[in-house]
Chain A
Amino acid sequence: GAVVSQHPSRVICKSGTSVKIECRSLDFQATTMFWYRQFPKKSLMLMATSNEGSKATYEQGVEKDKFLINHASLTLSTLTVTSAHPEDSSFYICSARDSGQAGNTIYFGEGSWLTVV
């Protein structure tokens, strides 16, 4: 089946630094990818929609200058958390839409744990 890969799976960074998380679709092209955030024992909250070749669209309340998204190719989207602070510590998950599948199936990556110390 389709696979979406995230890297790194876990990252620890110092407060004030920036960290980049990659999301790749391994066996299909994804014109649209999505970034979610999940707190422990909570549901997934959509942060932004990443569109290949154009600017990302952010959900209400998400700071676009803090969470930079780049979708430079049909198989790669990156999320950069800039000037990270402890409150940014969370589980970040990406998903990708396989438009080649009947019904436009959405697959998720394995997630990336970010800890800001």
Chain B
Amino acid sequence: QQQVKQSPQSLIVQKGGISIINCAYENTAFDYFPWYQQFPGKGPALLIAIRPDVSEKKEGRFTISFNKSAKQFSLHIMDSQPGDSATYFCAASRGDYKLSFGAGTTVTVRA
């Protein structure tokens, strides 16, 4: 039973474009929503995270939008670069910090 649903499975974007990845959750007890970037053969690296008391958080070219009532959150990658080509995972956890991961989105940025 996947607690966090992520879409799309993959996307292709042109250099300079915007990549958008969406996630939805059911468990209203979740209170921590991080996004991770993973390159092949490497561990996930924390990109950005948000808590439910904030509707948007921006760090550089990465922005999380959070809609508590809809139980959805999304990652926007602005001005996408070839180096952004990777797999992105959304996740969620409660106070126990056990992360439930989405299925992942493979992003390919074409030069």
Contact = CB atoms under 8 A, between A and B. Distances in A.
A31 to B, nearest CB: 10
Helix, strand, loop or mixed for chain B's interface?
A: loop
B103 A43 contact: yes
A110 B98 contact: no
A54 interface: no
Contacts of A43: 89, 101-104
Contacts of A108: 36, 43-46
Given A43-B89, A43-B104, A44-B89, A106 B43 contact: no
Interface in B52-111: 89, 93, 96-104
A4 B103 CA distance: 23
A86 B54 CA distance: 45
A95 interface: yes
Contact of B99 (A95, A110, A113): A95
Taking residues whose C-beta sits less than 8 angstroms from the other chain, chain A's interface range is 20 to 34
Contact of A103 (B43, B49, B89, B100): B49
Contacts, number: 53
Interface residues of B, number: 22
B73 to A, nearest CB: 16
Given A43-B103, A103-B51, A105-B49, A49 B32 contact: no
Contact of B43 (A32, A97, A105, A109): A109
Nearest to B4: A43
Contacts of A93: 43-44
Contacts of B32: 103-104
Contacts of B41: 91, 111, 113
21 contacts: A4-B43, A6-B43, A32-B97, A34-B98, A34-B99, A43-B89, A43-B101, A43-B102, A43-B103, A43-B104, A44-B101, A45-B101, A104-B32, A104-B97, A105-B49, A106-B46, A106-B97, A106-B99, A108-B45, A111-B41, A111-B43
Interface of A: 4, 6, 32, 34, 42-46, 49, 91, 93, 95, 97, 103-111, 113
